Chains A and B, each alone.
Chain A
Amino acid sequence: MFGYYLDLALRSLKRNRMLTALMVVAIALGIGACMTTLTVLHVLSGDPLPGKSARLYYPQIDPQDMDGYQPQNEPPLQVSWTDGMNLLHAKRADNQALMTGGSVPIQPEQSSLEPFYDDARYTTAGFFAMFEVPFLYGRAWSEADDDGSARVAVLSRKLNDKLFGGADSTGRTVRMEDVAFRVVGVIDDWRPNPHFYDLFSARYGGEESVFVPLTTAADLKFGRNGSMDCWGKGSGDNMKTATCTWLQLWVQLDSPAKAAAYKDFLIHYSQEQKAIGNFQRPPNVRLRNLMEWLDYAKVVPSDVRLQVWLALGFLLVCLVNTVGLMLAKFLRRSAELGVRRALGASRRSVFAQLLVEAGTVGLVGGLGGLLLAVAGLWLVRRQPVNYAALAHLDLPMLATTFLLAVGATLLAGLLPAWRACQVTPALQLKSN
């Protein structure tokens, strides 16, 4: 029966090509716009570490003085060196890392390469295991290296390719800021998006080429990137004693009970610091997990969300348009449908026949929409935004495109098909 309906649908669609083309184009435009913007949203609001993100938390505490104090305020978005180190060394979580971003001048040994700046991450040993960073060669540095400000570095695969031609470089030397670092590991391609662990230096597309211990970077006064908020005496010359928040602390807590206990620990820590006079404000802590943090930080640009709403509105207009055109098309064939009914077709089968026709329009429109979405994403990739390179269609979005197209058109076909089924066979036969 389906084959017969399909045949009828194709015949009917061919009969009025302009109307068919108009419906297909409208569906294609609506679906294309929707899929382009939804894909961008999907890519931007994705989980950077699936399977792990629910166990990663971003603690915040409030070490500021009473200047501008208001009870409901959000604590600072980063931590100071003192608090970061205290919380790190307390080791109350299953894993923890303290970090900031920066850029360092790298001086290659080969004379064929000019010195260049590259993005670096200054962090602590826990970073690699906690974020499940894949290693190509070697391994992460140890906590002893952190404590001893060791001159060790972990390179990205890209930098390793550039400096050592992709060979296993563990044990070799890299010079940064005129200091020799021993390479202890090379990581494989690893580029979580959003750049969740440090939204202050880059929100999307952030990628570090070299990792060195935070203590080492601080001792050598490596240049840092990102944001810094100060109060009281401010930063002065020594970042280790500065009353500024400029570091990101991440902890891994494997169960909700542990997360609750860690939050208590943060409150307890704040009280303790207040008791000894380091903090002035009452305890004010936050412990968001990774996805909550991304949500709070509004990591998805508002323009992208606006575009999604716009595209949905656009699709809605296209669908209303299709409903109208389909209504016209189906009602025009009242006579033909009357004959089918008179010859014994039930209302249900006429309804099914019309829905097959609507679905066909949806499928063709969906194909067109897919092509438009591919073109739209190509345009997005040419935009000067930091997430441009990420805008690619993946398999789930591809499936969504077709489901949305066919589903929406079937929905649009419901009313016209129902109306067309209501014709009384006798009346239609008589008028001819």
Chain B
Amino acid sequence: MQIKPILAAMRHHKAGTVLIALQIALTLAIVCNALFIIQQRTARVSRPSGVEETDLFVIRSDWADKSDPRRIDAQMQADLIALRQLGSVQEASSTNSFPLRGTGWDNFIKLQPDQVKMTTDAAIFFADERTLAALGTRLVAGRNFTAGEIGAQQPRDALHSAQVIISKALAERLFPQGSALGKTIYVSMGRTPSTVIGITDTLQAHMTGSWANPYAYNAVLIPARLLNDYTYYLVRARPGQLAAAMRDAPKALYAQSRMRIINAKDGVMSFAQVRRRAYERDVGMAILMGIISVVLLAITAAGIVGLTSFWVGQRRKQIGVRRALGATRGDILGHFLTENLLIGIGGVLIGAVLAVGINLWMVAQFEMARLSLAYVVAGVVALLLLGQGAVLAPALRASRVSPVEATRSV
């Protein structure tokens, strides 16, 4: 294939060549970054929660009368008994928060009482001896709380629990060498140490914001009922009986006492709903990026088809001459394919630089991760193939130009 005549032909329509190259470059830059954002968001959405999510649901009960914490405590214990007695319920536990809830209580964790800066941050989950069973989360070391260890406290009391269970990620963060089991940590402002008696398998925190990425798997379980204005019940239904349990549980709670408000809209949520709610913005963004990418590629392809068709129309006579002088159909086809490939290569070279540039700017502006080069390479290949695909139809039309054209319109 001779490149020289192709380059010479391109020199005759510089503006068009530059425009196609520019369009390919911009499309590559945007699509690479869009795909990268999609990948980042889907990676976030598909991270494990560490919770056995099927058959789990949560109920939020707001207390109508909040004046006496002791009455709230008694009510919570009565509620739990009522829930566990239901035929469709396997396990129930009270807590202030749970993985993927979005908002909640997180505390700085320190290794020394007079430490100025935190070692790390972690979600605070108030738990009882049944919480791990309700969540379906295993212990990888140590032991669970016993019923006798479960206390009660108000939100404004300092956390002063002698024993805590922590998540695996937190244990590894605090004690990179050796086991965290039996060590002491400080989970609040106070100077009371807490001994780690158990370490759970993977357990996600309630925080889902991107600021919390370094702490996303840090959780501390405090053996107490939190006597707040409201409480959550984590309820595990018997296998396959989720719908029935979600229907029965609020009724059982209202039968226990009517002095509560369970929001009709989101007072009872299956864990699948919790997960959907936690990540719906990420999913939305990923879908949007996907649509934008597809439309951009389509527009670029259409642009290439349009401009090449015009070139073919413009050069019918020259093509006829070449055919009359002995060029085969393949030669003509090859000419347009090569021409497009050359323009495409020019475009993707600029585009690759642009893609990395845009990513670096987004890293600074939007706290995004660095673009991996694999995306750029994939984008380059995709756009070159797209260009060749788009140019195929006009190029085939060109190859069908008959040598007779050379003699016409003279």
Binding site for B on A (CB under 8 A): 18-19, 22, 26, 29, 33, 67-68, 105, 115-117, 177-178, 223, 230-232, 234-237, 302-303, 305-307, 310, 313-314, 316-318, 320-321, 323-325, 327-329, 331-332, 383-385, 415, 419
The residues in B between 152 and 180 inclusive whose CB is less than 8 angstroms from any CB of A are: 156, 158
Residues from chain A with a CB closer than 8 A to the CB of B302 are 22, 26, 321
- Asked, given contacts A306-B362, A321-B303, A328-B307, whether A230 binds B26 with beta carbons under 8 Å apart, the answer is no
B212 lies within 8 A of chain A by Cβ:
no
Q: How far does the Cβ of B235 sit from chain A's closest Cβ, in whole Å?
A: 22
Q: How far does the Cβ of B5 sit from chain A's closest Cβ, in whole Å?
A: 21
Q: How far does the Cβ of A379 sit from chain B's closest Cβ, in whole Å?
A: 9
A324 touches B296 (CB 8 A): no
Could you mark each residue 131-143 of chain B with 1 if its beta carbon is under 8 Å from any beta carbon of chain A, else 0?
0000000000000
Residues from chain B with a CB closer than 8 A to the CB of A105 are 64, 261
Residues from chain A with a CB closer than 8 A to the CB of B117 are 68
* A105 nearest CB neighbor, chain B only: B64
Partner of A317, one of B299, B310, B367: B299
A115 touches B261 (CB 8 A): yes
- Asked, given contacts A117-B62, A237-B156, whether A324 binds B261 with beta carbons under 8 Å apart, the answer is no
B156 touches A305 (CB 8 A): no
Residue in B23, B292, B306, B309 with the greatest tally of chain A CB atoms within 10 Å: B306
Residues from chain B with a CB closer than 8 A to the CB of A115 are 64, 261
Residues from chain A with a CB closer than 8 A to the CB of B156 are 235-237
Q: Compute how far the CA of A13 lies from the CA of B229 in the bound complex, rounded to whole angstroms.
A: 68
B310 touches A331 (CB 8 A): yes
**What are 26 sample pairs from A and B whose C-beta atoms fall under 8 A apart?**
A19-B306, A26-B303, A29-B299, A68-B117, A105-B64, A117-B261, A177-B66, A232-B189, A302-B367, A303-B281, A310-B34, A320-B19, A320-B23, A320-B26, A321-B23, A321-B300, A324-B307, A327-B16, A327-B307, A328-B311, A331-B314, A332-B314, A384-B277, A384-B280, A384-B281, A419-B15
A317 touches B15 (CB 8 A): no
Residues from chain A with a CB closer than 8 A to the CB of B404 are none
Residues from chain A with a CB closer than 8 A to the CB of B307 are 324-325, 327-328
Residues from chain B with a CB closer than 8 A to the CB of A302 are 365-367
Q: Which 10 A-B pairs have the closest CB atoms?
A: A328-B310, A324-B19, A321-B303, A320-B23, A223-B229, A317-B26, A313-B30, A235-B156, A325-B306, A324-B307
A223 touches B66 (CB 8 A): yes
- A to B contact number (C-beta, < 8 Å): 110
Q: Compute how far the CA of A237 lies from the CA of B156 in the bound complex, rounded to whole angstroms.
A: 6
Q: Compute how far the CA of A310 lies from the CA of B117 in the bound complex, rounded to whole angstroms.
A: 39
B64 touches A26 (CB 8 A): no
Q: Compute how far the CA of A223 lies from the CA of B154 in the bound complex, rounded to whole angstroms.
A: 13
A318 touches B281 (CB 8 A): no
Q: Compute how far the CA of A26 lies from the CA of B189 in the bound complex, rounded to whole angstroms.
A: 59
Residues from chain B with a CB closer than 8 A to the CB of A307 are 288
- Asked, given contacts A384-B277, A384-B281, whether A318 binds B19 with beta carbons under 8 Å apart, the answer is no
Q: Compute how far the CA of A396 lies from the CA of B285 in the bound complex, rounded to whole angstroms.
A: 27
B393 lies within 8 A of chain A by Cβ:
no
Residues from chain B with a CB closer than 8 A to the CB of A19 are 306
Partner of B189, one of A231, A317, A419: A231
B295 lies within 8 A of chain A by Cβ:
yes
Residues from chain B with a CB closer than 8 A to the CB of A234 are 158, 189
Residues from chain A with a CB closer than 8 A to the CB of B182 are none
The residues in B between 8 and 52 inclusive whose CB is less than 8 angstroms from any CB of A are: 15-16, 19-20, 22-23, 26-27, 29-30, 34, 37
A interface majority secondary structure: helix
B27 touches A317 (CB 8 A): yes
Q: Compute how far the CA of A223 lies from the CA of B63 in the bound complex, rounded to whole angstroms.
A: 11
Residue in B281, B296, B313, B367 with the greatest tally of chain A CB atoms within 10 Å: B296
- Asked, given contacts A307-B288, A324-B23, A328-B310, whether A314 binds B16 with beta carbons under 8 Å apart, the answer is no
Q: How far does the Cβ of A26 sit from chain B's closest Cβ, in whole Å?
A: 5
Residues from chain B with a CB closer than 8 A to the CB of A116 are 261
Q: Compute how far the CA of A232 lies from the CA of B156 in the bound complex, rounded to whole angstroms.
A: 14
Beyond A22-B306, A327-B19, 16 extra complex contacts between A and B, CB < 8 Å: A115-B64, A178-B65, A223-B229, A234-B158, A234-B189, A313-B29, A314-B292, A321-B23, A321-B300, A321-B303, A327-B16, A328-B16, A329-B310, A384-B277, A384-B280, A415-B15
Q: Compute how far the CA of A307 lies from the CA of B362 in the bound complex, rounded to whole angstroms.
A: 12
Q: Compute how far the CA of A415 lies from the CA of B19 in the bound complex, rounded to whole angstroms.
A: 11
Q: Compute how far the CA of A330 lies from the CA of B337 in the bound complex, rounded to whole angstroms.
A: 24
Could you mark each residue 214-244 of chain B with 1 if its beta carbon is under 8 Å from any beta carbon of chain A, else 0?
0000000000000001000000000000000
A332 touches B15 (CB 8 A): no
Partner of B292, one of A232, A310, A325, A332: A310
Q: Compute how far the CA of A318 lies from the CA of B295 in the bound complex, rounded to whole angstroms.
A: 10
Q: How far does the Cβ of A45 sit from chain B's closest Cβ, in whole Å?
A: 16
Q: Compute how far the CA of A52 lies from the CA of B102 in the bound complex, rounded to whole angstroms.
A: 35
B389 lies within 8 A of chain A by Cβ:
no
B325 lies within 8 A of chain A by Cβ:
no
A230 touches B30 (CB 8 A): no
Partner of B284, one of A68, A305, A327, A383: A383
* A239 nearest CB neighbor, chain B only: B156
Residues from chain B with a CB closer than 8 A to the CB of A419 are 15
A324 touches B66 (CB 8 A): no
Residues from chain A with a CB closer than 8 A to the CB of B374 are none
Residues from chain A with a CB closer than 8 A to the CB of B229 are 223
Q: How far does the Cβ of B14 sit from chain A's closest Cβ, in whole Å?
A: 10
Q: Compute how far the CA of A310 lies from the CA of B280 in the bound complex, rounded to whole angstroms.
A: 20
* A22 nearest CB neighbor, chain B only: B302
Residues from chain A with a CB closer than 8 A to the CB of B29 are 313
B1 lies within 8 A of chain A by Cβ:
no
Q: Compute how far the CA of A384 lies from the CA of B276 in the bound complex, rounded to whole angstroms.
A: 11
Q: Compute how far the CA of A218 lies from the CA of B65 in the bound complex, rounded to whole angstroms.
A: 17
Residues from chain A with a CB closer than 8 A to the CB of B299 are 26, 29, 317-318, 321
B116 lies within 8 A of chain A by Cβ:
yes
Q: Compute how far the CA of A333 lies from the CA of B27 in the bound complex, rounded to whole angstroms.
A: 29
